Chain A
């Protein structure tokens, strides 16, 4: 069984936010007006922000100042605090380690958004909407079943959504391999943010495969995890800058 994982090399990241944009178009995240963004209603499954997020003091003195940028998809924790608090099992971790979100099940209590220390979960405060040209170019992919609605499918009002490591791409790659009558290979699938990354800073693969890039990078001395002492065991890891 695969264990999907992502490694982000901050040495290579140029904070261009291409991952954020790729994610937006891949996963149909709604666009909000500036006044709504002001209220914290913008949705960025893959966010790029300065670190520390809430600096208590200036880092360095002018002109020798330094800013570090962080790019943050879902951590897909091995011990996810969000799924523990969900009252209806709308969010769950699958056997491949991806933390999924079922829009058809979510009751909108927003306990998971409070439970997640990383802030990777977003809520649909209004019915999602796009301007006309965008509306016509939504990603038609969706993960659907009985009482199941996941992936880039346009979200209904009042449910929580989050990064899924582009789970629809995994399903599509699997279906393709099956149709061609061959075994699925782990390198047939990467999320949109990894595919688009300008600096090739993102690595994605199967952590259980000793030949995968993520496995080999996992022993790199520069590896660190966000909020490591929270005990969530993220599967998205970072390589320290410098």
Chain B
């Protein structure tokens, strides 16, 4: 019989057994409808052929691949939190490990599905086993993604097992029989003996070390699928690390959104506290900076090279057909960086003490200017201006946007959780756009085929929406069955903390022999 303190039971176990409320039913219904529609469109695609997509020659890869990279990228959240932070002994990770691991598993399921959806002959899937060629980057990908999926499912299940046993032993009286059976089976006879704990810790420690290289390899290999071809714009040596950093970056973004949603819905403010937001926020900022560095490096290579076939790709990104998605991506990341960094360096001030640009009424003014500028820029018939004037307007809009951000900085400081979620949303959108900006400009601008354009078809959009819905739906169901926070890991953390507080660290002795000291005269 495993015990759990009443507060944790009330916060984490009891909500699992409350009857489904209206919000849950409604969101599950909407999500299921979207999934059903996507599934219908997919079966139609199998029946009719990939012609129902917007693809053609030379756009042989498109939205499915963008979503594939995006979702697999999101999945790197779990590895960072559960494996990397575990290995480095970051105690604050404890309350968010479960959510991060769930993101990993579900994003991987949805991500790997994208590749299957993209296949022309899904009925020949098993040929990759019977006739597989290890020389092909797709084979590397199949192996590493499969390994990662199995590994992260194990990683999700291992720490969950002890929690399932806790639930099994603390079930409410009136629980239906199937749920009792469900938890009893899944707990695998966990009783919490000392030997079991030791083995569990060992297994988790092994998995943590094992899964880090696998996760790194997964997104490197995805980048190599592109980097090993001769297509202009993809032949880049920074692609491996660029993709991995982007993956962890977007993973943290998704994690922030998911953990804030859980915190809000289940009222877990006490467990998922500001400490988690601040510490994870530091990693987030670092990833943001590294992402900018890699984006700059990659672009610089293209600019300096001025290659015949690569230059047009850079040109469409910087000022051509893909300029909106490229600059929106840059703007998203820059805004996210601002939202995360500025509250850390800003002093807390009252309204009167603030400089003019930090005052709320300044934000209203800049917002109005932004709207006017946007209308002028996006409705070209109003202003028949020449390119220098339009450029000036764009620069003005960027400056105005910056001024707006400055004026609302104090609000960001006052609402760290909300502002982190806003930054995360910007990052997730920006990272999706980044995947788009890597794939689509290159496939539409090949070397010896006329340039093409690509617009996703209804089928592709439906499947993309259904994939997102499937991702959220898995979350919804999972956290209705299992606790959102790892109960035993939290308890373990408390025990460790208590034990540490009893240890009295001796002060360093003044005259230790053999210790060199810097002497200041």
Contacts and interface: CB of A to CB of B under 8 A. Distances in A.
Contact of B447 (A36, A41, A126, A227): A227
Q: Tell which of B120, B128, B138 has the most Cβ of chain A within 10 Å.
A: B120
B286 interface: no
Given A107-B120, A108-B119, A124-B49, A39 B312 contact: no
Contacts of A36: 51
B54 interface: yes
A89 B49 contact: no
Contact of B131 (A56, A105, A109): A105
Interface in B394-449: 443, 445-449
B231 interface: yes
Contact of B136 (A87, A108, A160, A232): A87
A232 to B, nearest CB: 8
Interface stretch (A58-66, A78-86, A164-172, A201-209): A78-86
A178 interface: no
A83 to B, nearest CB: 9
A115 B230 contact: yes
A158 B50 contact: yes
A124 B49 CA distance: 8
B231 A158 contact: no
Contact of B229 (A53, A88, A114, A159): A114
B193 interface: no
A126 B138 contact: no
Contacts of B57: 40-42, 113, 119, 122-123
Interface residues of B, number: 44
Interface in B312-350: 312
A201 to B, nearest CB: 19
Nearest to B124: A107
Contacts of A49: 450
Contact of A111 (B56, B138, B312, B445): B138
Contacts of A126: 48-49, 51
B243 to A, nearest CB: 17
A87 B120 contact: no
Nearest to B129: A88
Contacts, number: 137
B448 A105 contact: no
Contacts of A118: 447-448
A53 B230 contact: no
A81 B136 contact: no
B139 interface: yes
Given A39-B56, A110-B120, A88 B61 contact: no
Interface string A98-132: 00000001111111011101110011111100000
Interface residues of A, number: 46
Contacts of A87: 128, 132-133, 136, 138-139, 142
A134 interface: no
Contacts of B181: none
Given A54-B451, A84-B136, A105-B127, A114 B119 contact: no
Majority SS of interface residues in chain A? loop
A235 interface: no
A42 B57 CA distance: 8
B228 interface: yes
A227 B448 contact: yes
Nearest to B452: A40
B348 to A, nearest CB: 53
B125 A72 contact: no
B290 interface: no
Interface string B100-134: 00000000000000000011110011011001110
Given A119-B449, A158-B120, A88 B55 contact: no
B225 to A, nearest CB: 7
B135 interface: yes
B169 to A, nearest CB: 48
Nearest to A147: B131
B127 A88 contact: yes
B136 A53 contact: no
B59 interface: yes
B312 A114 contact: no
Interface in B32-72: 48-51, 54-61
A110 B61 contact: yes
B128 A85 contact: no
Contacts of A86: 133, 136
B241 interface: no
Contact of B56 (A40, A117, A158): A40
A125 B53 CA distance: 9
A104 to B, nearest CB: 9
A226 interface: yes
B101 to A, nearest CB: 30
Contacts of B142: 87
Given A40-B452, A84-B136, A89-B133, A115 B120 contact: no
B49 A84 contact: no
A111 B136 CA distance: 9
B54 A39 contact: yes
A230 interface: yes
Nearest to B137: A85
A16 interface: no
Contacts of A41: 51, 56-57
Given A109-B118, A157-B49, A158-B49, A114 B59 contact: no
B443 A114 contact: yes
A81 B447 CA distance: 14
A126 B48 CA distance: 6
B134 to A, nearest CB: 9
Interface in A20-56: 36, 39-42, 49, 53-54, 56
Contacts of A160: 120
Given A107-B125, A159-B120, A125 B51 contact: yes
Interface string B304-317: 00000000100000
Contacts of A81: 229-230
Given A114-B443, A117-B446, A125-B55, 19 more contacts: A36-B51, A39-B54, A40-B56, A41-B57, A85-B136, A85-B138, A88-B124, A89-B131, A107-B121, A108-B120, A109-B138, A110-B118, A111-B136, A111-B225, A114-B229, A125-B51, A158-B49, A158-B120, A160-B120
25 contacts: A36-B51, A39-B55, A39-B56, A54-B445, A84-B135, A84-B136, A85-B229, A86-B133, A87-B142, A108-B124, A109-B118, A109-B120, A110-B118, A111-B225, A114-B61, A114-B229, A117-B231, A117-B448, A123-B120, A125-B51, A157-B49, A157-B120, A158-B119, A226-B448, A227-B448
Interface of A: 36, 39-42, 49, 53-54, 56, 72, 81, 84-90, 105-111, 113-115, 117-119, 122-127, 156-160, 226-227, 230, 232
Top 3 nearest A-B pairs (CB, nearest first) are: A108-B120, A40-B56, A158-B120
